[in-house]
Amino acid sequence: MPIAVLTVELRLEFAHSLKDRRQCVRSMKDSLRHGFNVSVAELDEIVVWQRATLGIAAISSSRDYLLGQMRQVEEACVRIAENHGAQVSDSFVEMFPEE
């Protein structure tokens, strides 16, 4: 059964405190979980307030469905980040098992 993992790197230029960073990241995680029924976790340590990395995972019996879902999740990440004054600096999808 295929598993898709989307890694999204965020730049939060507006964040001047840990509270600002947490607010944006929490909002994005909650929106993605409820909107797409995916698992979302913060992957990096809180070293810099202006950066964050999220890992988003989903599982399905259809590889094509997963790729489409990850595309939609990525578009939602860009939209949500822009609404919070942040931006997606990089993102990539990995599929397991690889074919």
- Match 């909107």 to its residue by tokens: 35
Question: Has residue 15 got a pLDDT over 90?
Answer: no
Structure token digits, residue 77:
């990440």
pLDDT in tens, 61-99: 999 999 999 999 999 999 999 998 899 999 999 999 876
Residues 6 or more apart from 66 whose CB is under 8 A from it? 2, 3, 4, 58, 59, 60, 95
CA–CA gap between residue 73 and residue 19 (Å, rounded): 25
Per residue in 71-91, is it b (16+ CB within 10 Å) or e — as a string? eebbebbeebbeebebebeeb
* pLDDT reported for residue 5: 98
**pLDDT digits over 36-52, tens only?**
999 999 998 777 888 99
Show the domains of the chain with their CATH numbers.
3-96 (3.30.70.1120)
- pLDDT of 99: 63
